[in-house]
Amino acid sequence: MTDSAAAPQPLTVLSEEERMFQGAVRDFAEGAVRPLVHRMDEEAHLDASLIPQVFGLGLMGIEVPEALGGAGGSFFLAVLAVEALSRVDPSVAILVDVQNTLFNNCLLRWGNDEQKSRYCPKTCAEWVGAYALSEAGSGSDAFGLATRAELQGDTWVLNGQKLWITNGSEAQIYVIFATVDAAKGYKGITAFLVERGFPGFSVGKKEDKLGIRASSTTELVLQDCRVPAANVLGAVGQGYKVAIETLNEGRIGIGAQMIGVAAGALDAAVKYVKERQQFGQPLAEFQGVQFQLAQAATELEAARLMVYNAARLKDAKEPFAQQAAMAKLYSSQVAERVTSLCLELFGGYGYTKEYPVEKFYRDAKIGAIYEGTSNMQLQTIAKMLLK
Protein backbone atom coordinates (compact mmCIF):
# COMPACT_ATOMS: atom_id res chain seq x y z
CA MET A 1 0.00 0.00 0.00
CA THR A 2 1.27 3.44 -0.89
CA ASP A 3 2.53 5.58 1.98
CA SER A 4 -0.13 8.24 2.59
CA ALA A 5 2.56 10.92 2.94
CA ALA A 6 3.61 10.30 -0.63
CA ALA A 7 0.08 10.15 -2.07
CA PRO A 8 -1.08 13.03 -4.28
CA GLN A 9 -3.01 15.71 -2.43
CA PRO A 10 -6.65 16.37 -3.29
CA LEU A 11 -6.84 19.40 -5.54
CA THR A 12 -8.54 21.57 -2.93
CA VAL A 13 -5.92 20.82 -0.28
CA LEU A 14 -2.99 23.20 -0.15
CA SER A 15 0.25 22.34 1.58
CA GLU A 16 1.32 24.56 4.47
CA GLU A 17 3.88 26.24 2.21
CA GLU A 18 1.23 26.90 -0.46
CA ARG A 19 -1.24 28.24 2.09
CA MET A 20 1.32 30.62 3.60
CA PHE A 21 2.38 31.81 0.16
CA GLN A 22 -1.22 32.39 -0.89
CA GLY A 23 -1.88 34.31 2.31
CA ALA A 24 1.15 36.54 1.80
CA VAL A 25 0.07 37.41 -1.75
CA ARG A 26 -3.49 38.12 -0.60
CA ASP A 27 -2.18 40.43 2.13
CA PHE A 28 -0.08 42.30 -0.43
CA ALA A 29 -3.03 42.56 -2.81
CA GLU A 30 -5.33 43.93 -0.12
CA GLY A 31 -2.80 46.25 1.51
CA ALA A 32 -0.75 47.58 -1.40
CA VAL A 33 -2.84 47.05 -4.54
CA ARG A 34 -6.48 47.64 -3.57
CA PRO A 35 -6.02 51.32 -2.60
CA LEU A 36 -4.61 52.00 -6.08
CA VAL A 37 -7.05 50.01 -8.22
CA HIS A 38 -9.57 52.73 -9.07
CA ARG A 39 -6.97 55.35 -9.94
CA MET A 40 -4.90 52.93 -12.04
CA ASP A 41 -8.02 51.92 -13.98
CA GLU A 42 -9.02 55.54 -14.57
CA GLU A 43 -5.52 56.57 -15.65
CA ALA A 44 -4.89 53.32 -17.58
CA HIS A 45 -1.47 53.13 -16.00
CA LEU A 46 0.19 50.75 -13.55
CA ASP A 47 1.46 52.51 -10.45
CA ALA A 48 5.24 52.34 -10.71
CA SER A 49 5.61 51.72 -6.97
CA LEU A 50 4.10 48.24 -7.34
CA ILE A 51 6.82 46.90 -9.64
CA PRO A 52 9.68 46.87 -7.10
CA GLN A 53 7.23 45.44 -4.55
CA VAL A 54 6.32 42.40 -6.65
CA PHE A 55 10.02 41.82 -7.26
CA GLY A 56 10.75 42.18 -3.56
CA LEU A 57 8.12 39.57 -2.71
CA GLY A 58 9.76 37.11 -5.12
CA LEU A 59 6.69 37.03 -7.39
CA MET A 60 8.60 37.68 -10.61
CA GLY A 61 10.77 34.57 -10.52
CA ILE A 62 8.64 31.97 -8.77
CA GLU A 63 9.84 28.92 -10.73
CA VAL A 64 13.37 30.15 -11.38
CA PRO A 65 15.93 28.10 -9.41
CA GLU A 66 17.49 29.78 -6.40
CA ALA A 67 20.93 29.46 -8.00
CA LEU A 68 19.72 31.80 -10.75
CA GLY A 69 18.20 34.31 -8.35
CA GLY A 70 14.65 32.97 -8.23
CA ALA A 71 12.38 31.55 -5.55
CA GLY A 72 12.80 27.92 -6.65
CA GLY A 73 9.05 27.33 -6.33
CA SER A 74 6.48 25.39 -8.32
CA PHE A 75 4.27 26.36 -11.22
CA PHE A 76 1.32 25.84 -8.90
CA LEU A 77 2.61 28.65 -6.68
CA ALA A 78 2.62 30.96 -9.69
CA VAL A 79 -1.02 30.02 -10.32
CA LEU A 80 -1.91 30.79 -6.70
CA ALA A 81 -0.20 34.18 -6.99
CA VAL A 82 -2.07 35.11 -10.17
CA GLU A 83 -5.40 34.03 -8.69
CA ALA A 84 -4.85 35.96 -5.45
CA LEU A 85 -3.80 39.16 -7.26
CA SER A 86 -6.67 38.90 -9.76
CA ARG A 87 -9.15 38.82 -6.90
CA VAL A 88 -8.17 42.46 -6.34
CA ASP A 89 -6.81 43.62 -9.72
CA PRO A 90 -6.06 41.41 -12.73
CA SER A 91 -3.97 44.22 -14.25
CA VAL A 92 -1.34 43.62 -11.59
CA ALA A 93 -1.85 39.88 -11.85
CA ILE A 94 -1.10 39.78 -15.57
CA LEU A 95 2.22 41.56 -14.98
CA VAL A 96 3.21 38.65 -12.73
CA ASP A 97 1.54 36.06 -14.95
CA VAL A 98 3.37 36.98 -18.16
CA GLN A 99 6.67 37.19 -16.31
CA ASN A 100 6.33 33.67 -14.91
CA THR A 101 4.27 31.58 -17.33
CA LEU A 102 5.52 33.11 -20.57
CA PHE A 103 8.86 34.90 -20.31
CA ASN A 104 10.60 32.96 -17.53
CA ASN A 105 9.07 29.74 -18.78
CA CYS A 106 10.55 30.37 -22.23
CA LEU A 107 13.96 31.24 -20.88
CA LEU A 108 14.18 28.29 -18.48
CA ARG A 109 12.99 25.72 -20.99
CA TRP A 110 14.73 26.92 -24.14
CA GLY A 111 17.61 29.11 -23.00
CA ASN A 112 21.16 27.81 -22.85
CA ASP A 113 23.21 28.04 -19.66
CA GLU A 114 24.84 31.31 -20.69
CA GLN A 115 21.49 32.96 -21.49
CA LYS A 116 19.95 31.82 -18.23
CA SER A 117 22.89 32.97 -16.13
CA ARG A 118 22.90 36.32 -17.97
CA TYR A 119 19.20 37.10 -17.79
CA CYS A 120 17.50 35.14 -14.98
CA PRO A 121 19.09 37.13 -12.12
CA LYS A 122 17.86 40.33 -13.77
CA THR A 123 14.31 39.11 -14.46
CA CYS A 124 14.01 37.88 -10.89
CA ALA A 125 15.25 41.13 -9.35
CA GLU A 126 14.40 44.10 -11.58
CA TRP A 127 13.67 43.43 -15.26
CA VAL A 128 10.09 42.93 -16.43
CA GLY A 129 9.80 40.54 -19.37
CA ALA A 130 7.32 40.36 -22.25
CA TYR A 131 6.35 37.85 -24.93
CA ALA A 132 5.83 39.08 -28.49
CA LEU A 133 4.18 36.72 -30.94
CA SER A 134 1.06 38.53 -32.23
CA GLU A 135 0.99 40.87 -35.21
CA ALA A 136 -1.64 42.79 -37.14
CA GLY A 137 -2.11 39.85 -39.50
CA SER A 138 -1.33 36.97 -37.15
CA GLY A 139 -3.55 36.52 -34.15
CA SER A 140 -5.23 33.12 -34.06
CA ASP A 141 -3.12 32.33 -37.13
CA ALA A 142 -0.13 32.66 -34.86
CA PHE A 143 2.47 31.60 -37.39
CA GLY A 144 1.46 33.91 -40.21
CA LEU A 145 4.27 36.24 -39.18
CA ALA A 146 5.37 39.20 -41.27
CA THR A 147 8.33 40.08 -39.01
CA ARG A 148 11.56 38.98 -40.66
CA ALA A 149 15.05 38.23 -39.36
CA GLU A 150 18.17 38.18 -41.52
CA LEU A 151 21.60 37.02 -40.39
CA GLN A 152 24.36 39.51 -41.09
CA GLY A 153 27.67 38.21 -39.79
CA ASP A 154 27.20 37.45 -36.09
CA THR A 155 24.09 39.66 -35.81
CA TRP A 156 20.44 39.06 -36.66
CA VAL A 157 18.62 42.06 -38.11
CA LEU A 158 14.88 42.12 -37.34
CA ASN A 159 12.24 44.15 -39.16
CA GLY A 160 8.52 44.24 -38.43
CA GLN A 161 5.87 45.20 -35.90
CA LYS A 162 4.30 43.32 -33.02
CA LEU A 163 0.87 44.11 -31.58
CA TRP A 164 -1.06 43.42 -28.36
CA ILE A 165 2.10 42.94 -26.29
CA THR A 166 1.32 42.72 -22.58
CA ASN A 167 3.88 44.42 -20.31
CA GLY A 168 5.15 46.23 -23.40
CA SER A 169 5.63 49.56 -21.60
CA GLU A 170 7.32 48.16 -18.50
CA ALA A 171 9.48 45.42 -20.00
CA GLN A 172 13.23 45.58 -20.34
CA ILE A 173 13.50 42.32 -22.28
CA TYR A 174 11.25 40.55 -24.77
CA VAL A 175 10.92 37.15 -26.41
CA ILE A 176 10.24 38.13 -30.02
CA PHE A 177 9.30 35.72 -32.80
CA ALA A 178 10.37 36.33 -36.39
CA THR A 179 10.67 34.37 -39.62
CA VAL A 180 14.18 33.66 -40.89
CA ASP A 181 13.00 31.81 -44.03
CA ALA A 182 9.45 32.43 -45.26
CA ALA A 183 9.73 29.54 -47.72
CA LYS A 184 9.88 27.12 -44.80
CA GLY A 185 6.58 28.30 -43.32
CA TYR A 186 6.27 27.71 -39.59
CA LYS A 187 9.63 25.88 -39.64
CA GLY A 188 11.32 29.17 -40.44
CA ILE A 189 10.12 30.86 -37.23
CA THR A 190 12.77 31.65 -34.63
CA ALA A 191 12.63 33.12 -31.13
CA PHE A 192 14.98 35.92 -30.07
CA LEU A 193 15.82 37.54 -26.72
CA VAL A 194 15.63 41.26 -27.44
CA GLU A 195 16.65 43.87 -24.87
CA ARG A 196 14.87 47.20 -24.80
CA GLY A 197 18.12 49.04 -25.47
CA PHE A 198 19.08 47.15 -28.65
CA PRO A 199 19.52 49.48 -31.66
CA GLY A 200 16.44 49.61 -33.87
CA PHE A 201 13.98 48.56 -31.16
CA SER A 202 11.23 50.83 -29.86
CA VAL A 203 7.89 50.61 -28.07
CA GLY A 204 5.06 52.04 -30.14
CA LYS A 205 1.39 52.78 -29.55
CA LYS A 206 -0.22 51.86 -26.24
CA GLU A 207 -3.77 50.53 -26.60
CA ASP A 208 -6.71 52.13 -24.81
CA LYS A 209 -8.65 49.09 -23.63
CA LEU A 210 -12.03 48.09 -22.22
CA GLY A 211 -10.62 46.13 -19.29
CA ILE A 212 -7.35 45.38 -17.49
CA ARG A 213 -6.65 49.01 -18.30
CA ALA A 214 -3.68 49.47 -15.99
CA SER A 215 -1.85 46.64 -17.76
CA SER A 216 0.09 48.02 -20.71
CA THR A 217 -0.72 46.54 -24.12
CA THR A 218 1.56 47.98 -26.78
CA GLU A 219 2.98 47.82 -30.25
CA LEU A 220 6.65 46.95 -30.69
CA VAL A 221 8.54 48.39 -33.64
CA LEU A 222 11.61 46.68 -35.11
CA GLN A 223 13.51 48.79 -37.66
CA ASP A 224 16.78 47.09 -38.52
CA CYS A 225 16.87 45.94 -34.91
CA ARG A 226 20.25 44.34 -34.27
CA VAL A 227 20.21 41.24 -32.09
CA PRO A 228 23.39 39.26 -31.30
CA ALA A 229 23.43 35.71 -32.62
CA ALA A 230 23.97 34.60 -29.01
CA ASN A 231 20.42 35.79 -28.29
CA VAL A 232 18.64 33.19 -30.40
CA LEU A 233 16.37 31.36 -27.95
CA GLY A 234 16.39 27.66 -28.76
CA ALA A 235 17.46 26.57 -32.24
CA VAL A 236 17.01 28.58 -35.42
CA GLY A 237 13.75 27.45 -37.02
CA GLN A 238 12.37 26.02 -33.77
CA GLY A 239 10.43 29.10 -32.71
CA TYR A 240 7.09 27.43 -33.39
CA LYS A 241 7.86 24.81 -30.75
CA VAL A 242 8.91 27.50 -28.29
CA ALA A 243 5.62 29.33 -28.89
CA ILE A 244 3.30 26.33 -28.70
CA GLU A 245 4.77 24.79 -25.59
CA THR A 246 4.97 28.12 -23.79
CA LEU A 247 1.35 29.02 -24.55
CA ASN A 248 0.15 25.75 -23.06
CA GLU A 249 1.37 26.92 -19.66
CA GLY A 250 0.27 30.48 -20.31
CA ARG A 251 -3.32 29.31 -20.71
CA ILE A 252 -3.31 27.94 -17.18
CA GLY A 253 -2.17 31.35 -16.00
CA ILE A 254 -5.08 33.01 -17.78
CA GLY A 255 -7.38 30.47 -16.17
CA ALA A 256 -6.01 31.51 -12.77
CA GLN A 257 -6.63 35.13 -13.66
CA MET A 258 -10.24 34.42 -14.59
CA ILE A 259 -11.08 32.50 -11.42
CA GLY A 260 -9.56 35.34 -9.43
CA VAL A 261 -11.69 37.90 -11.27
CA ALA A 262 -14.84 35.85 -10.70
CA ALA A 263 -13.98 35.35 -7.02
CA GLY A 264 -13.38 39.07 -6.52
CA ALA A 265 -16.76 39.92 -8.01
CA LEU A 266 -18.50 37.22 -5.99
CA ASP A 267 -16.87 38.43 -2.76
CA ALA A 268 -18.20 41.92 -3.42
CA ALA A 269 -21.69 40.68 -4.29
CA VAL A 270 -22.01 38.46 -1.21
CA LYS A 271 -21.06 41.38 1.01
CA TYR A 272 -23.48 43.70 -0.77
CA VAL A 273 -26.56 41.46 -0.66
CA LYS A 274 -26.14 41.07 3.10
CA GLU A 275 -26.24 44.85 3.52
CA ARG A 276 -28.71 46.00 0.86
CA GLN A 277 -32.30 46.16 2.11
CA GLN A 278 -35.35 45.80 -0.12
CA PHE A 279 -38.96 45.08 0.91
CA GLY A 280 -37.91 45.22 4.53
CA GLN A 281 -35.16 42.62 4.45
CA PRO A 282 -31.63 42.08 3.11
CA LEU A 283 -31.36 40.85 -0.46
CA ALA A 284 -29.54 37.81 0.94
CA GLU A 285 -32.81 36.63 2.51
CA PHE A 286 -34.49 36.16 -0.88
CA GLN A 287 -34.28 32.59 -2.14
CA GLY A 288 -33.93 33.76 -5.73
CA VAL A 289 -30.75 35.66 -4.81
CA GLN A 290 -29.45 32.75 -2.75
CA PHE A 291 -29.87 30.31 -5.61
CA GLN A 292 -28.07 32.58 -8.08
CA LEU A 293 -25.14 32.99 -5.71
CA ALA A 294 -25.04 29.24 -5.08
CA GLN A 295 -24.93 28.53 -8.82
CA ALA A 296 -22.16 31.08 -9.31
CA ALA A 297 -20.11 29.66 -6.44
CA THR A 298 -20.51 26.13 -7.80
CA GLU A 299 -19.35 27.09 -11.28
CA LEU A 300 -16.43 29.03 -9.84
CA GLU A 301 -15.33 26.04 -7.77
CA ALA A 302 -15.50 23.79 -10.84
CA ALA A 303 -13.36 26.26 -12.81
CA ARG A 304 -10.88 26.51 -9.94
CA LEU A 305 -10.50 22.73 -9.82
CA MET A 306 -9.83 22.62 -13.56
CA VAL A 307 -7.14 25.30 -13.29
CA TYR A 308 -5.54 23.66 -10.26
CA ASN A 309 -5.62 20.25 -11.93
CA ALA A 310 -3.87 21.54 -15.06
CA ALA A 311 -1.22 23.22 -12.90
CA ARG A 312 -0.67 20.10 -10.79
CA LEU A 313 -0.31 18.01 -13.97
CA LYS A 314 2.31 20.41 -15.29
CA ASP A 315 4.29 20.23 -12.05
CA ALA A 316 4.05 16.43 -12.12
CA LYS A 317 5.49 16.45 -15.68
CA GLU A 318 2.34 14.78 -16.99
CA PRO A 319 0.64 15.75 -20.29
CA PHE A 320 -1.52 18.81 -19.66
CA ALA A 321 -2.18 20.60 -22.97
CA GLN A 322 -5.79 19.46 -23.22
CA GLN A 323 -6.49 20.24 -19.58
CA ALA A 324 -4.91 23.67 -19.99
CA ALA A 325 -7.16 24.46 -22.96
CA MET A 326 -10.23 23.23 -21.06
CA ALA A 327 -9.30 25.25 -17.98
CA LYS A 328 -8.83 28.46 -19.95
CA LEU A 329 -12.02 27.93 -21.95
CA TYR A 330 -14.24 27.15 -18.99
CA SER A 331 -12.78 29.65 -16.53
CA SER A 332 -13.22 32.49 -19.03
CA GLN A 333 -16.85 31.47 -19.58
CA VAL A 334 -17.47 31.29 -15.83
CA ALA A 335 -15.82 34.66 -15.26
CA GLU A 336 -18.15 36.32 -17.76
CA ARG A 337 -21.25 34.70 -16.26
CA VAL A 338 -20.33 35.33 -12.62
CA THR A 339 -19.25 38.95 -13.08
CA SER A 340 -22.40 39.68 -15.09
CA LEU A 341 -24.60 38.21 -12.37
CA CYS A 342 -22.75 40.09 -9.63
CA LEU A 343 -23.16 43.37 -11.47
CA GLU A 344 -26.92 42.74 -11.77
CA LEU A 345 -27.22 41.96 -8.05
CA PHE A 346 -25.92 45.46 -7.34
CA GLY A 347 -28.76 46.90 -9.43
CA GLY A 348 -28.15 50.42 -10.69
CA TYR A 349 -25.16 50.77 -8.39
CA GLY A 350 -23.45 47.94 -10.22
CA TYR A 351 -23.47 49.99 -13.41
CA THR A 352 -21.48 52.77 -11.78
CA LYS A 353 -17.80 53.04 -10.94
CA GLU A 354 -18.61 53.58 -7.26
CA TYR A 355 -18.56 49.81 -6.73
CA PRO A 356 -15.95 47.31 -7.99
CA VAL A 357 -18.18 44.92 -9.92
CA GLU A 358 -18.36 46.92 -13.15
CA LYS A 359 -14.58 46.76 -13.38
CA PHE A 360 -14.51 43.01 -12.79
CA TYR A 361 -17.15 42.70 -15.52
CA ARG A 362 -14.95 44.63 -17.97
CA ASP A 363 -11.83 42.76 -16.90
CA ALA A 364 -13.44 39.36 -17.44
CA LYS A 365 -13.96 39.74 -21.20
CA ILE A 366 -10.30 39.48 -22.14
CA GLY A 367 -10.16 35.89 -20.88
CA ALA A 368 -12.02 34.67 -23.95
CA ILE A 369 -9.61 36.48 -26.28
CA TYR A 370 -5.94 36.56 -25.37
CA GLU A 371 -3.48 33.66 -25.32
CA GLY A 372 -5.84 31.83 -27.66
CA THR A 373 -9.50 32.67 -28.22
CA SER A 374 -12.23 30.39 -26.95
CA ASN A 375 -12.73 29.02 -30.45
CA MET A 376 -9.05 28.12 -30.62
CA GLN A 377 -9.33 26.32 -27.28
CA LEU A 378 -12.30 24.34 -28.61
CA GLN A 379 -10.27 23.44 -31.69
CA THR A 380 -7.36 22.25 -29.53
CA ILE A 381 -9.63 20.17 -27.30
CA ALA A 382 -11.42 18.63 -30.28
CA LYS A 383 -8.15 17.72 -32.02
CA MET A 384 -6.83 15.97 -28.93
CA LEU A 385 -10.12 14.13 -28.37
CA LEU A 386 -10.16 12.88 -31.95
CA LYS A 387 -6.48 12.08 -32.27
DSSP letter for each residue of 239-290: HHHHHHHHHHHHHHHHHHHHHHHHHHHHHHHHHHHHH-EETTEEGGGSHHHH
**Same domain, yes or no: 37 and 14:** yes
CA distance 65 to 102: 16
Say what the pLDDT of residue 115 is. 98
According to DSSP, the residues that pair with 190 across neighbouring strands are 178
| Residue where a domain stops, chosen among 187, 220, 237 | 237
Say what the pLDDT of residue 141 is. 81
CATH number at residue 355: 1.20.140.10
**Same domain, yes or no: 122 and 166:** no
Q: What average pLDDT score do residues 128-140 get?
A: 92
Total domains present in the chain: 3
**Same domain, yes or no: 231 and 259:** no
Q: Which tens digits make up the pLDDT trace of 167-189?
A: 999 999 999 999 999 999 999 99
CA distance 361 to 263: 12
Say what the pLDDT of residue 210 is. 98
**Same domain, yes or no: 221 and 262:** no
**Same domain, yes or no: 116 and 253:** no
Say what the pLDDT of residue 138 is. 85
Q: 63, 83, 299, 371: which is the annotated catalytic residue? A: 371
According to DSSP, the residues that pair with 227 across neighbouring strands are 156
| pLDDT tier, 11 (very low <50, low <70, confident <90, very high otherwise) | low
CATH number at residue 169: 2.40.110.10
**Same domain, yes or no: 330 and 363:** yes
Say what the pLDDT of residue 3 is. 42
CATH number at residue 77: 1.10.540.10
**Same domain, yes or no: 136 and 156:** yes
Among 357, 361, 154, 179, CA closest to 273: 357
Provide the b/e sequence for 333-344 (b: ≥16 CB within 10 Å).
bbbbbbbbbbbe
Q: Which tens digits make up the pLDDT trace of 347-360?
A: 999 999 999 999 99
Q: Which tens digits make up the pLDDT trace of 44-62?
A: 999 999 999 999 999 999 9
**Same domain, yes or no: 94 and 202:** no
The whole domain housing 85 covers 4-128
**Same domain, yes or no: 362 and 265:** yes
CA distance 112 to 234: 8
Say what the pLDDT of residue 5 is. 42
| Residue where a domain stops, chosen among 88, 112, 128 | 128
Max Cα–Cα distance, the chain, nearest Å: 79
| Residue where a domain stops, chosen among 196, 221, 237 | 237
Which residues, in sequence order, are CB contacts of 17 under 8 Å at separation 6+?
A: none
**Same domain, yes or no: 159 and 231:** yes
**Same domain, yes or no: 230 and 248:** no
Which residues, in sequence order, are CB contacts of 56 under 8 Å at separation 6+?
A: none
pTM for the complete prediction? 0.95
pLDDT at 316 over 90: yes
CA distance 54 to 340: 30
Q: Which tens digits make up the pLDDT trace of 357-372?
A: 999 999 999 999 999 9
**Same domain, yes or no: 115 and 134:** no
42 flagged as catalytic: no
